[in-house]
Structure 1
């Protein structure tokens, strides 16, 4: 099957900026925003969002790494690089690169919901609309209606970010 480009580097940069502004608007009164990136593409995407957020908001932006076995998050569990006290009663944005079935995002959301938070939002670069779970992206770069056989790839490389189907 041939590779089909979905988003170019420049288009991804625009999506990152737009999502960062949406996150800022949703947290305009916050003194601190926790950006929780799911290890892998989500963490890379979170770091790019943080770069823009630090330029546009006076709030302190804190990165939290979220680690899980994406093939079996129930068995592996979810862990974070920050202790619970560091995000308790704060605004958290859970970030992943692609929302496929919703499995990764729902387990990430479930982890954070065990702690009282001011608010919890989700952000994804690509929303595939194939959800198994009732989870939605509050902030999304693009929504794609794809077949289950198609695979969405997100590559974050210096000056060559891209999203493509194969």
Structure 2
């Protein structure tokens, strides 16, 4: 695929700015909490969650408990959905589930499963890009960028050395 096959939506500077703003919003909503659980969905969601947790700790006294949500994204009902920390660690805490793109909401809906087995303070959703094609009752509390697309469009989030968001 050549660069001309995709349209740049957000460059690295803009992505960093969106993550910082999302961290400030989390801090504003949970300034009285000592710890917030940042649960990133395996893949780019987890990469984004690490960046978000780092930014939240840089701007606030809030400690973050970073955990990864493991699930089969193509067939989430086929395999067990689990997190890589003990459920006791998330008990009575604020949970922010993080993914790179919210499309239909299916992946995020299934990612909530481990947290339904334990008493938590609240569960919120953070996404870098919201495409607003929800088929599931999932609405993000923290959104980096709202993007109107057709269902056939593809949003590609690249986090790392060449950070950017593209529309293909």
SS in 2 for 1:25: helix
TM-score by length of 2: 0.95
Whether 1:62 and 2:103 are equivalent positions in the alignment is no
Give structure 1 stretches of 5+ with no counterpart: none
Deviation of the 1:115 alpha carbon:
1.4
What do the CA deviations read for 1:71-122 (whole angstroms, capped 9, x no partner)?
0111112110111100011111000000011011111123312211111111
* Aligned mate of 1:161, from 139, 160, 163: 163
Query: What is the alpha-carbon distance in structure 1 between the residues aligned to residue 100 and residue 167 of structure 2?
Result: 14
Give the aligned CA root-mean-square deviation in angstroms. Answer: 1.1
Query: What is the alpha-carbon distance in structure 1 between the residues aligned to residue 104 and residue 69 of structure 2?
Result: 18
Segment of structure 1 superposing worse, 108-117 or 64-73: 108-117
CA contact (8 A) 2:81 2:113 kept: no
Match of 1:85 in 2: 88
Whether 1:129 and 2:153 are equivalent positions in the alignment is no
CA contact (8 A) 2:27 2:60 kept: yes
Give structure 2 stretches of 5+ with no counterpart: none
SS in 1 for 2:117: coil
* Aligned mate of 1:28, from 31, 41, 53: 31
* Aligned mate of 2:15, from 12, 17, 39: 12
TM-score by length of 1: 0.96
Deviation of the 1:146 alpha carbon:
0.6
